[in-house]
Amino acid sequence: MKEQLESLQNEALDSISKTQDLKKLQEIKVSFLGKKGSLTSVLRGMGKLSKEERPIVGEVANRVRSSITAAIEQKNEELEAKAIEKQLEDEAIDVTLPGRPVQVGGKHVLTKLIEEIEDLFIGMGFEVQEGPEVETDFFNFEALNLPPNHPARDMQDTFYITNELLLRTHTSPVQARTMREYKGKKPVKMICPGKVYRRDNDDATHSHQFTQIEGLYIDRNVRMSDLKGVLNNFAKKIFGQDREIRLRPSFFPFTEPSVEMDISCKICGGKGCSVCKKSGWIEILGAGMVHPKVLEMAGYDSKEFSGFAFGMGPDRIAMLKYGIDDIRQFYVNDTRFLKQYHNA
Amino acid sequence: MLVSLNWLKNYVDIDSITPEELAEKITKSGIEVDGIEYIAEKSKNVVVGYVETCEKHPNADKLNLCQVDVGDQKLQIICGAPNVRQGQKVAVAKPGAILPGNFKIKKVKLRGVESNGMICSLQELGIEEKFVPKDTADGIFVFPNDVEIGEDVEPLLNLNDAILEFDLTPNRADCLSMIGIAYEVAAILDQDIHLPEVKIKTITEKAQNYVSVEVEDKELNPYYGAFIIKDIEVKPSPLWMRNYLIAAGIRPINNVVDITNFVLLEYGQPLHAFDYDQLQSEKIVVRRAKENETLITLDEKERMLTTDNLVITNGKEPIALAGVMGGANTEVSEQTTTILLEAAYFDGFSVRKTVKATGLRSEASTRYEKGIDPSRVKIAGERACQLLYEYANGKVLANSVEVDSLDCTKKTVEITTNEINKRLGTEISTEEIVSILEKLRFAFDQEKDHFTVEIPTRRGDISIFEDMLEEVARIYGYDNLPYTLPIGAADAGALTQRQNLKRKVKNFMESSGLMEGITYSLTDLNNSKKLISPDIEEENITPVKLAMPMSEDHQFLRLSILPELLRTLAYNNARGQRNTGLYELGSIFITEEEILTKQPEEKLRLAGALTGEWISHPWQQENKKVDFYVVKGIVEGLFEFLKLPATFKKEKLSDMHPGRCASIAVNNEPIGFIGQVHPMFVKKMDLKETYVFDINMEKVFSAYKKEPETKPIPKFPSITRDIAFIVDENVVAGDLKASIEEIGAPLVKKVRIFDVYQGKNLPEGKKSIAYSLVYRHPEKTLKDDEVEESYQQIIDEVNKKYDSYIRS
Ligand SMILES: [Zn+2]
C-alpha cells in the first residue's frame, strides 16, 4: 500500500508539473484529493491494514497528501501569475495616442499684469480703490487742478457725454474721490486700476479704450525720495532686478514737481536701439509730488500733509514686457493671442 | 519746438558739447528732447561757383551748357534748371561729391557733351521741399552776390546744423523762444548768456502822426504797441535768416514776414505787420467782435465772428483776429512800402477761445495761449524794427504808439534750505542752493538759509514754493535724489471683500475652461439695446450716447457685455477659431435719462459666450458640442462655489432661442439669464449654435457670505432609493425635483436626476423622469421601514400633484 501511495504521489506530481492550465489543475486536484479522488480511495483501504501498519501508512498518506497539495498550490500561483501577465499583455495600449483634453481657460494678459501690480503695491501698504468710468468734469479735471480752458486739457482728448459728464480720461478722479472720503485727516495709500477712454482713432499704438493704474500716497513728511524708492521697487519687480530707473522733469497739472520715469532699455542694455529711440531709456510712467492745490481742494492741509502720485498704463507695460506691437490685440481677443499669456 | 544749434550758439556757448550730450542733459533736467535731426547728411565737395557763361546745349533744347568758375578750377557743367543764368553764384557739386541719398557726382556725357559736376537745388542738398522758399523751389538755388567763389556751401546754407526737437510740456512756454532756451541751456551748462543788442535808429517823424491806438477791453489786451516803418523794400531776407527759419521749420517768404517770424522765434513774442496803406484809416481800435461780424483771414477764408473773439479793427471793420491771424486785406505784399508793426500782449484764455471757435492755430496763438513774457513785448517790437532797418531799408518812425496797462511786477517765492531738503529727502547745502539760483539767473535775497526768490517774468509757470522746489531739484539733478521708502509704508494693505470675490470668480471661470476677454465698453446703435438681462430693474433704460463719438462703432455705452463678446466670438470664428468659450467681468451703464443729468449707475456683470465643440476627443468617440447644459453646468458650478442657491426658470427673451433660455434667480431674486442666442441673431455674424450667460455681480456680492461654515462630515450611512415617474411631457424636471425635496424633507438630503426618457414603450405625450434620492439622518442609522414610509409618501403625493405614475 505504501508503494501504491508513492506511485500515486509520483503520478500526481508528474501531471501537476505538466499541466499549464488552471482548469486542468483544478481537475487534477479533484481527481487526486477530491471525495472520489484516487488518494481518498486508496485511504479508504486503510481499514484493512493491521494496527502496526496503520500509523506508518497513515504517515506516508499524509506526506503524500501535503506534497500533492503543496505542489498544486505552487502550480496554482504560478499559473495565476502567468494568466495575469497574459491578461495585462492583452490590455496593452498605444501610449502615444492623445489624452482626453481638459478645457483650460485663463485670465486676460492685462488682468494678470494688473493683479501682479496690485499685489506688489498691497505689499507696500497700498489699498486698491475703484471708481466710476463715467465721471464728472469736476472729478476728472477740476479737482485735479485742471480748470476749464486750462491748456493742459489739450493733452487729453475727452469723450464728453454732456458738458458736465464724460468718460474718464485717467483713473486719477478716483484719487480725488478717495481723498474727499478721507476728509483731509487720514493718510491715503492707494492705487486705482481701471478702464479709461480717450478720443483717439484706434491704431497700433492708440486705443480709444485702455487701462491705467494710478497711485496716491499722502501722509505727513512724504518726500520725493520716497517716490523714487517706491517706483524703483516697482520697476525692479515688474521688469527685473537688472533694470535701472531714471526720473526726468515733466509736467502734470496735479503734481509739482512732476516727473516721468524711464527704465533702462533691456534690448540694447542702455546703448541705444530702435526700441528706445536711441536713448537707452524707455518711458514707463508719469509721477510727481501732489500739487498743494489738489491737497487743499480735497481738504488736506498742504503744510501738514504731502504726498506723491503716479500713473501708468498696463497696456503699454504689457507691450514692452512681452514685445506686443499692436495695442488693439488686447481688445479684439483673438484666442490664439490670449492663450500665449495664460502662464504669465 | 525745433531748436537749431547753430542759431542757439549766438546766445550761449555750446561748442564744447556734442548735440547728443546736450540733448541728454536737457532731457534729464527739464525738457524732453524727442530727437536730433541733422539738416542734411554731410555733403562734401559742394562749393560756390560763378556761372561765367550759359548757353543752350547744342543737342538738347531744355539743357544749358555752363562754364562755371569754382575757384580752383573752371568746370563745364550741363544744367537742366530753367532758372540758371550767366552771372549767378550757385552751389556746385564737383565730381567726387556725394549728395544726400548717397548720390555720387561723376563726370558724365550728356547728349555727347561732357558735364563735370552738378549745379544744385536746395532739395538736392537735403533741404525738405516744404521749407524751400517758393521763388527757388522749381530750380537751382542762387546765392546773394556777397559770397566768395569756391567757398564751401555747407556753412553758407547751414547744412552742418543739428536740430533738437523739444517736446515741450504746456508749462514751459518760456522755451517757445530761442532766448528762453538759451536761459535753460545756460543754467544746465553753467554758461553765460548773450542777448542780442537792440538799438533802433529812428527818423524824426513820429508814429503818432500816422496812427492812434485805442483798446476797449484792457483785460484782454493790456498792451498794444504800434510801430510805423516806412520806405520798406520788400525782398528776400538775408541768407542767415532764411537758414535759421528753415532750420526751425518755417518757410522763408520775404524780408518783412521773415523778420516777424524770426523775432517770434527769437523772443517768443508774436508780431504782426500790416500794410499801412491798406488800413484805410489812421486808427487802430482793439475790441470784441460784434455778433456775426466777418473777417477774411490771411488763408483766404471768411471767418464768422462772435463777441468772444477779440479783433483788431481800423475803427470800422476787423483787420485781424487778435493773436491768431491777420486779415487778407492788410497783408504785406511786394508793393508794400509802409508797415504798421504790432507788438501786443493778448490774454491767453481769450486767444484760446478764438482758436477753439475758429479751429485756427498759429505759431502766434500757441504762444499767447501758453503765456508770453510781458517784459519782452516792446523790446521784441524794437528788435524787429532794427532788423527792418538793416534788411529792408526801412525808416523807423520815432516813438511807437502804445496803450500800456501791462503788469510786469515780479513775483517772489520764499524757500528755505531746510524745507527743500525735507520735501526732497536730500541734504542739499545752502551754498548749493545759492549756486542753483545763480545758474537759473533768478535774483534773490538771502538771510542765512532763507531765500526770497524773485521770479523773472519769463517764467510765468513759477508762483509757489513747489514750483521752486522743482527748479532746485531739477538743476540739482533727479539722479542725485536718494532712494527711500515712506515711513508709513509698514502698514499692511489688502484687497477688499469685493475685490477678492472678483478674483475668485475669475479663477473659477478659468478653472471651468473659459478664457477672459476684455471688450470695448462703447458699442454701436444696433448692439446698444441687445441681449439685456431681465434682472435689470429699471424700466425705461436707455443707452448713454457720446456727444461726439469718433466712430459709429463706438458711440453708446453698453447695457450688456454680450453683443461685443459675441463680436469677439465672430472675430475668432472668422479666423478659423471655431471652438471658443470666453467670459468678461465688466461694467454696464444704466440710466433712465435721455439726457444725462447725473452719472449712470455702473453695475458689474459677469457674461460668457460659448460656441463650437466643448470636448473634442474623436479617437475615443468622445465629442461634445457646447449645448445649454454645458453652459448651465458652468453657471451652476459657479453658484455652488459661491454657496448661493440658484434656480432656473424657462424664459422668453428677444434675440434668444424661445425654447432654450432660462432666467436665473437666487433666493427668488432675479440675477441673470442663460441660453442659446437666437440662430437668426448669430447667423448674421456667421456663427453657429452659440450659448451665453449673463449674471448680475452686484447681487452676487450682496448675497455672498464671506466666512465658509464648517459642518461636521456625516457620521451615519446614507440609503439611496431610485424612483421613475411617468408624467405629462410638459412637466419640467426641476419642478418635480423641488416637490420631491419638499415632501422628502428633512430625511431626503439630495435628489439627483439620472434619466429622462420619452418614446418607445411610453404612451404618447408622456415622459419618464428618474430620480435618485439620498436619505440620511444626522444622529442615527436609518431603518428600512423609515425610508420606505417616506418613499411611499413621496410617490403618493407626487402622483396626486402631477397626475403621474410609477414606471416599473
Ligand atoms: Zn534700446
Give the other-Cβ count within 10 Å of B446's Cβ: 13
Interface A-B: count of C-beta contacts within 8 A: 262
Pairwise CB contact (< 8 Å): A105 & B548: no
Pairwise CB contact (< 8 Å): A335 & B582: yes
At residue A152, the pLDDT reads 66
Pairwise CB contact (< 8 Å): B518 & A221: no
At residue B170, the pLDDT reads 86
Q: Are B458 and B186 in contact (CB under 8 A)?
A: no
What is the SS3 string spanning B704-736?
CCCCCCCCCCCCCCCEEEEEEEEEECCCCHHHH
At residue B405, the pLDDT reads 92
- CA dihedral (B602, B606, B612, B615) in degrees, to 10, reads 170
Are residue A274 and residue A318 in the same domain, yes or no?
yes
In chain A, how many domains are there?
2
Q: Are B176 and B366 in contact (CB under 8 A)?
A: yes
Residues on chain A touching B494 (C-beta within 8 angstroms): 122, 127
Are residue B21 and residue B49 in the same domain, yes or no?
no
Residue-wise pLDDT tens digits, A241-260 = 999 999 999 999 899 999 99
Confidence of residue B490 (pLDDT cuts 50, 70, 90): low
Are residue B49 and residue B26 in the same domain, yes or no?
no
Residue B708 lies in a domain: no
Are residue B549 and residue B585 in the same domain, yes or no?
yes
Mean pLDDT lowest among A74-78, B414-418, B669-673: A74-78
Is the pLDDT confidence value at B770 over 90? yes
Residue B489 lies in a domain: no
Cα–Cα nearest to B122, from B75, B158, B82: B158
In chain B, how many domains are there?
6
Mean pLDDT lowest among A52-66, B333-347, B542-556: A52-66
Q: How far is the CA of A264 from the centre of ligand 1 (A)?
A: 8
Across the interface, of B423, B467, B557, the residue whose CB is closest to A224 is: B423
E-only strand ranges, B577-635: 580-590, 601-611, 613-617, 622-625
Side-chain half-sphere CA neighbours of B164 within 13 A? 26
Q: Which of B703, B729, B749 is the last residue of a domain?
A: B703
Residues on chain A touching B522 (C-beta within 8 angstroms): 159, 197, 208-209
Known binding-site residue numbers of A for Mg(2+): 256
CATH number, domain of A313, equals 3.30.930.10
Residue A80 lies in a domain: yes
- Higher pLDDT: B42 or B265? It is B265
Q: Does A244 touch chain B (CB under 8 A)?
A: no
Pairwise CB contact (< 8 Å): A106 & B474: no
CATH number, domain of B744, equals 3.30.70.380
Is the pLDDT confidence value at B585 over 90? yes
Helix (H, G, I), strand (E, B) or coil at B308: coil
Is the pLDDT confidence value at A262 over 70? yes
B145's CB contacts (< 8 A; 6+ apart) are B89
Pairwise CB contact (< 8 Å): A127 & B493: yes
Confidence of residue B320 (pLDDT cuts 50, 70, 90): very high
Distance of CA B519 to the CA centre of its chain: 20
Are residue B214 and residue B250 in the same domain, yes or no?
yes
B417: its cell numbers: 534750505
Burial A322-338 (b: 16+ CB within 10 A, else e): eebeebebbbbbbbeeb
Are residue B595 and residue B512 in the same domain, yes or no?
yes
Residues on chain B touching A125 (C-beta within 8 angstroms): 486, 488-493
Helix (H, G, I), strand (E, B) or coil at B558: coil
Q: How far is the CA of B24 from the centre of ligand 1 (A)?
A: 15
Q: How far is the CA of B208 from the centre of ligand 1 (A)?
A: 61
Across the interface, of A111, A126, A257, the residue whose CB is closest to B506 is: A111
pLDDT (mean) for B222-226: 96
B543's CB contacts (< 8 A; 6+ apart) are B528, B529, B556, B557, B558, B559, B589
Q: Does A153 touch chain B (CB under 8 A)?
A: no
Across the interface, of B484, B513, B517, the residue whose CB is closest to A333 is: B517
Q: Are B769 and B719 in contact (CB under 8 A)?
A: no
Give CA angle at B220 (B215, B221), nearest 5°.
45
Are residue B593 and residue B674 in the same domain, yes or no?
yes
pLDDT (mean) for B179-191: 96
At residue B222, the pLDDT reads 96
Residue B196 lies in a domain: no
At residue B801, the pLDDT reads 94
Across the interface, of A161, A201, A208, the residue whose CB is closest to B544 is: A161
Q: Does A120 touch chain B (CB under 8 A)?
A: no
Q: How far is the CA of A283 from the centre of ligand 1 (A)?
A: 11
Side-chain half-sphere CA neighbours of B114 within 13 A? 6
A86: its cell numbers: 497574459
Angle between helices B784-802 and B733-744 (to 10 degrees): 140
Residue-wise pLDDT tens digits, B702-725 = 999 877 888 888 889 999 999 999
Distance of CA B456 to the CA centre of its chain: 32
Burial of B705 (0-12, 13-18, 19+ CB in 10 A): exposed
Q: Are B672 and B663 in contact (CB under 8 A)?
A: yes
pLDDT (mean) for B649-671: 95
At residue A12, the pLDDT reads 86
Helix (H, G, I), strand (E, B) or coil at B798: helix
Residue-wise pLDDT tens digits, B106-163 = 888 888 889 999 999 988 888 888 778 877 778 899 999 889 999 999 889 888 899 9
CATH number, domain of B621, equals 3.30.930.10
Across the interface, of A107, A155, A228, the residue whose CB is closest to B170 is: A155
Across the interface, of B24, B512, B619, the residue whose CB is closest to A105 is: B512
Q: Are A140 and A168 in contact (CB under 8 A)?
A: yes
pLDDT (mean) for A260-286: 87
Are residue A62 and residue A203 in the same domain, yes or no?
no
Residue B490 lies in a domain: no
Q: What residue spans of B82-238 are helical by DSSP H?
A: 153-156, 178-189
Distance of CA A2 to the CA centre of its chain: 79
Q: How far is the CA of A273 from the centre of ligand 1 (A)?
A: 4
Across the interface, of B370, B423, B479, the residue whose CB is closest to A246 is: B479
Interface probe with A: pick from B349, B506, B515, B605, most Cβ of A within 10 Å: B515
Pairwise CB contact (< 8 Å): B548 & A159: yes
Q: Residue A240: give the domain boundaries.
A: 113-132+171-341
CATH number, domain of B262, equals 3.50.40.10
Mean pLDDT of chain B: 93
Query: What ipTM was reported for this prediction?
Result: 0.86
B611: its cell numbers: 460656441
At residue B572, the pLDDT reads 97
Are residue B475 and residue B389 in the same domain, yes or no?
no
First to last CA, chain A: 86
Q: How far is the CA of B37 from the centre of ligand 1 (A)?
A: 19
Pairwise CB contact (< 8 Å): B600 & A134: yes
Q: Are A303 and A292 in contact (CB under 8 A)?
A: no
Across the interface, of A135, A292, A306, the residue whose CB is closest to B464 is: A292
Residue A324 lies in a domain: yes
Separation between Cα atoms, residue B22 and residue B31, nearest integer Å: 11
Interface probe with B: pick from A119, A139, A225, most Cβ of B within 10 Å: A225
Residue-wise pLDDT tens digits, A180-231 = 998 888 899 999 999 999 998 999 999 999 999 999 999 999 999 999 999 9
Are residue B387 and residue B416 in the same domain, yes or no?
no
At residue A151, the pLDDT reads 64
Give the other-Cβ count within 10 Å of B347's Cβ: 20
At residue A45, the pLDDT reads 77
Cα–Cα nearest to B166, from B330, B27, B309: B27
Q: Which of A90, A123, A155 is the last residue of a domain?
A: A90
Peptide linkage before A187 cis (omega within 30 of 0): no
At residue B128, the pLDDT reads 82
Are residue B209 and residue B171 in the same domain, yes or no?
no
Known binding-site residue numbers of A: 256
Rg from Cα positions in chain B: 42
DSSP codes joined into one string, B195-239: -------EEEEEGGGT-EEEES-TTT-SEEEEEEEES----PPPH
Q: Which residue has the cell 524794437?
A: B382
Hey, which residues does B286 pair with through a beta bridge? B215, B312
Separation between Cα atoms, residue B803 and residue B800, nearest integer Å: 5
Residues on chain B touching A230 (C-beta within 8 angstroms): 485-486, 489
Residues on chain B touching A221 (C-beta within 8 angstroms): 422, 487
Cα–Cα nearest to B383, from B265, B525, B471, B297: B265
A113's CB contacts (< 8 A; 6+ apart) are A314, A317, A318, A321, A344
Q: Which of A26, A57, A90 is the last residue of a domain?
A: A90
Percent of chain B scoring above 70 in pLDDT: 99
Helix (H, G, I), strand (E, B) or coil at B262: helix
Q: What are phi and psi of B577, to 5 degrees?
A: -95, 90
B57: its cell numbers: 546745349
Q: How far is the CA of A250 from the centre of ligand 1 (A)?
A: 21
Interface probe with B: pick from A121, A141, A156, A161, most Cβ of B within 10 Å: A161
CATH number, domain of B120, equals 2.40.50.140
Pairwise CB contact (< 8 Å): A208 & B520: yes
Separation between Cα atoms, residue A153 and residue A169, nearest integer Å: 10
Are residue A68 and residue A121 in the same domain, yes or no?
no
Q: In the 8-state DSSP scheme, what is residue B297?
A: B
At residue B162, the pLDDT reads 92
Q: Residue B430: give the domain boundaries.
A: 412-479
Residue A156 lies in a domain: no
Residues on chain A touching B630 (C-beta within 8 angstroms): none
Of these ranges, A1-5, A252-256, B568-572, the one predicted with the greatest mean pLDDT is B568-572
Q: Does A323 touch chain B (CB under 8 A)?
A: no
Q: Does A135 touch chain B (CB under 8 A)?
A: yes
Cα–Cα nearest to A193, from A136, A133, A152: A133
Instruction: Using alpha carbons, list the distances in angstroms from residue B739 to B771, B774, B777, B807.
Output: 12, 15, 20, 18
Q: Does A222 touch chain B (CB under 8 A)?
A: yes
Q: Does A108 touch chain B (CB under 8 A)?
A: yes
Residue B487 lies in a domain: no
Q: How far is the CA of B272 from the centre of ligand 1 (A)?
A: 45
Cα–Cα nearest to B738, from B671, B655, B645, B620: B645
Q: Report the run of H or E that residue B320 belongs to, with start and end.
A: strand B318-321
Q: How far is the CA of A282 from the centre of ligand 1 (A)?
A: 8
Residue B711 lies in a domain: no
Are residue A297 and residue A183 in the same domain, yes or no?
yes
What is the SS3 string spanning chain A?
CHHHHHHHHHHHHHHHHHCCCHHHHHHHHHHHHCCCCHHHHHHHHHHHCCCCHHHHHHHHHHHHHHHHHHHHHHHHHHHHHHHHHHHHHHCCCCCCCCCCCCCCCECCHHHHHHHHHHHHHHCCCCEECCCCCEEEHHHHCHHHCCCCCCHHHHHCCCCECCCCEEECCCCHHHHHHHHHHCCCCCCEEEEEEEEEECCCCCCCCCCCEEEEEEEEEEEECCCHHHHHHHHHHHHHHHHCCCCCEEEEEEEECCEEEEEEEEEECCCCCCCCCCCCCCCCEEEEEEEEEECHHHHHHCCCCCCCEEEEEEEECHHHHHHHHHCCCCCCHHHHCCHHHHHCCCCC
Are residue B583 and residue B670 in the same domain, yes or no?
yes
Mean pLDDT lowest among A42-46, B18-22, B347-351: A42-46
Are residue A33 and residue A176 in the same domain, yes or no?
no
Q: Are B363 and B173 in contact (CB under 8 A)?
A: no
Q: How far is the CA of B483 from the centre of ligand 1 (A)?
A: 24
Q: How far is the CA of B664 from the centre of ligand 1 (A)?
A: 54
Residue B337 lies in a domain: yes
Burial of B65 (0-12, 13-18, 19+ CB in 10 A): buried
Closest residue, chain B, to A99 (C-alpha)? B617
